[in-house]
Chains A and B, each alone.
Chain A
């Protein structure tokens, strides 16, 4: 193999790992050395981004048909199971690499400002660097087990960072919830891996995808089971029905963490997994329909909840769940490119929205802190009219809002339209996709509505922060607004990544990802929409987006809103939405409490106390004490007795020996 710049790929995950080691050491030894921590934490990410650019450029120059695999050492050589610690560079991992390191760098820079006054500054950056390391392992891994290491690792870092302020019970609980819910999904991933190994005999991406069309019968039960278990893993990691409940709670973590882990990168791992395995899903039409259906349903369901949330971050959290649903609609439809495209543009505008909300929360927190008030700095009812105080954030968040709502020509318009177009086109072959398309369109309407609602309540109308706190509201420092500007540019212009041929674009992402997707796409039923239909779809999508925004302007009255502490409780259907359809309560009643009851009444009080402690531990002690008592009674101290026993024993042995 000739040496190319791609050989440097090992540096990309190692750099953040180095940052974790250094920052972790500083966190233990000298937590106050904030300058050193910022320099290390940010520079390793920027360096990783630079290396990623070099590697991707080399990949563009070489443009190999097969993935370039770098094997470093044997990891698990067990019989026929040969797992190597290997990384792979191909067009799909290249896209993910640039998104993770690029958006990650911007968020690291933002964190320098946002977390500056936090006592756990070094610990924060150590965890953030570790997260990036695992995320890069996830996207670069050349086999399912290596990917699984990253998959589990990002879950760990997510747990550590959600519960970053662990002194408060609610934060620790949120971290625990995220971890446990993710375990359910990880179980699916594991089962899928074992099934794959059983049937395909390998876990490397290249060999699995090479043999899959011959090993698996298309539409057969085995491949359907494998892909459904894989998707169970995705529902956990990427917060889809029924395992989405952890993501809104994950907003208890610091806001940059929400932007990086719970919007831009980690939660998209499931989409990446389905895209990576697009060939397997193409072989299993039922699973594809499940993926697309769950995605469309989640998109609509989460969007309805977002309509009535007051916490600015919760709105964005449900919006993330909803947008992830779109991505699954895309990859489930077989439009892998559209899904990945939306993943990238979503990373831009959702990171921008989260960082913007971070900027707002930062201002609100400082204003309330200055007057020693304990008002909720994240409740939109306490905001209003912030555009006069945070002009940059205001403008940039509007760009992101227009992008997510799907207003042309911003990035979200192209990616969302591509997904809806693909779903509609597939409806021509399988009519159920018309339903998925309709669900997607309905959520587009709601998306436009709730995002406009968020913007109006936060930035427009009268200010409800309170007279004493108002003079303390001001824009965040440049280290925070700088990354916002970069993300704003990306959100606005991200569409050029994959301009459709319809508007004279080159569909560059589609050509770029062709080596990854063409094998799977060949298995799908052909579905092409005519140009007229495509224009009509675009028209409908834009009309829906505008209707949502206009509706939000007409129906909502920020003037009538009261600050959070004066606001009356919600009633009727609004209350159902505000309480998130009571899904948490339902899970609590159906799953959590029965398990707790079982654990407490049966596993603890019977199995543990009576069986393990009683029969097991104390039983063993009592048995040996009884045996010891018998043994001690044998010791009479009478030499004659010993001799008699000895002689009897010798006689028995002699008798046996003489036989």
Chain B
């Protein structure tokens, strides 16, 4: 039921997420874009679950749990960086430069 439109929405959402990660410089926004990509994948899972069985729905729960854990850790890191540098602009955070 509505598989094609659902997948189309998921694809658009994912593309928006990728574009956000690539373009934006603010760590919080990038973080939110990553969440957007995760949810686009979740939508794909749900859509396919209609056809291929309940396993897709189970996966969605796992993805949510991991996303929650990731959000906790990721936000903590961003907070720590902000306290350290007074900035969350990714262009300033380039310690790994070779």
Contact = CB atoms under 8 A, between A and B. Distances in A.
A215 B25 CA distance: 87
Interface in A607-659: 631-640, 643-644, 647
A186 to B, nearest CB: 57
B94 A632 contact: no
B22 A637 contact: no
B90 A634 contact: no
A633 B98 contact: yes
Nearest to A629: B98
B98 A640 contact: no
Contact of B94 (A631, A633, A636): A636
Interface in B72-98: 90-91, 93-98
Contacts of B21: 640, 643
B90 A638 contact: yes
Interface residues of B, number: 13
B11 to A, nearest CB: 13
A632 B60 CA distance: 39
B95 A644 contact: no
A47 B18 CA distance: 91
Given A640-B25, A643-B21, A647-B18, A631 B98 contact: yes
A639 B90 contact: yes
Nearest to A643: B21
Nearest to B21: A643
A644 B22 contact: yes
Given A643-B22, A644-B22, A647-B18, A638 B91 contact: yes
Contacts of B95: 637
Contacts of B93: 637, 639
Contacts, number: 32
Contacts of B94: 636-638
Nearest to A644: B22
B22 A635 contact: no
Interface in A546-593: none
Contacts of B97: 635-637
Contacts of B25: 640
Interface in B1-38: 18, 21-22, 25, 30
A321 B98 CA distance: 74
Nearest to A631: B98
Contacts of B30: 639
B18 A637 contact: no
A648 B1 CA distance: 33
Contacts of A633: 98
A635 B91 contact: no
B90 A640 contact: yes
Nearest to A635: B98
Contacts of A636: 94, 97-98
Nearest to A632: B98
Contacts of B91: 638, 640
B29 to A, nearest CB: 12
B7 to A, nearest CB: 15
Given A640-B25, A640-B90, A635 B96 contact: yes
A647 B22 contact: yes
A643 B21 CA distance: 8
A639 B30 CA distance: 11
Contacts of B18: 647
A643 B37 CA distance: 14
A71 to B, nearest CB: 66
Contacts of A640: 21-22, 25, 90-91
A58 B98 CA distance: 84
B13 to A, nearest CB: 16
Nearest to B23: A640
Interface string B35-53: 0000000000000000000
Contacts of A632: 98
Interface string B52-75: 000000000000000000000000
Interface string A16-41: 00000000000000000000000000
Contacts of A644: 22
Nearest to A650: B18
A637 B96 CA distance: 5
Contact of B98 (A634, A639, A643, A647): A634
A419 to B, nearest CB: 83
Contacts of A643: 21-22
A644 B94 CA distance: 16
A643 to B, nearest CB: 5
A629 B21 CA distance: 28
A639 to B, nearest CB: 5
A637 B22 CA distance: 14
A165 B77 CA distance: 76
A63 to B, nearest CB: 86
A83 to B, nearest CB: 58
A654 B56 CA distance: 22
Contacts of A634: 98
A452 to B, nearest CB: 89
A633 B96 CA distance: 11
A257 B18 CA distance: 88
A126 to B, nearest CB: 61
A636 to B, nearest CB: 6
Contacts of A638: 90-91, 94
A639 B25 CA distance: 9
Residue among A631, A633, A643 with max Cβ neighbours from chain B (10 Å): A643
A207 to B, nearest CB: 68
A640 B23 CA distance: 8
A438 to B, nearest CB: 87
A631 B96 CA distance: 13
Nearest to B19: A647
A638 B30 CA distance: 13
Contacts of B98: 631-637
Interface of A: 631-640, 643-644, 647
Q: 5 closest A-B pairs (Cβ-Cβ)?
A: A637-B94, A637-B97, A635-B98, A632-B98, A637-B96
Interface of B: 18, 21-22, 25, 30, 90-91, 93-98
22 contacts: A632-B98, A634-B98, A635-B97, A635-B98, A636-B94, A636-B97, A636-B98, A637-B93, A637-B94, A637-B96, A637-B98, A638-B90, A638-B94, A639-B30, A639-B90, A639-B93, A640-B22, A640-B25, A640-B91, A643-B22, A647-B18, A647-B22
Given A633-B98, A637-B96, 19 more contacts: A631-B98, A632-B98, A634-B98, A635-B96, A635-B97, A635-B98, A636-B94, A636-B97, A637-B93, A637-B97, A638-B90, A638-B91, A638-B94, A639-B30, A640-B21, A640-B22, A643-B21, A643-B22, A647-B22
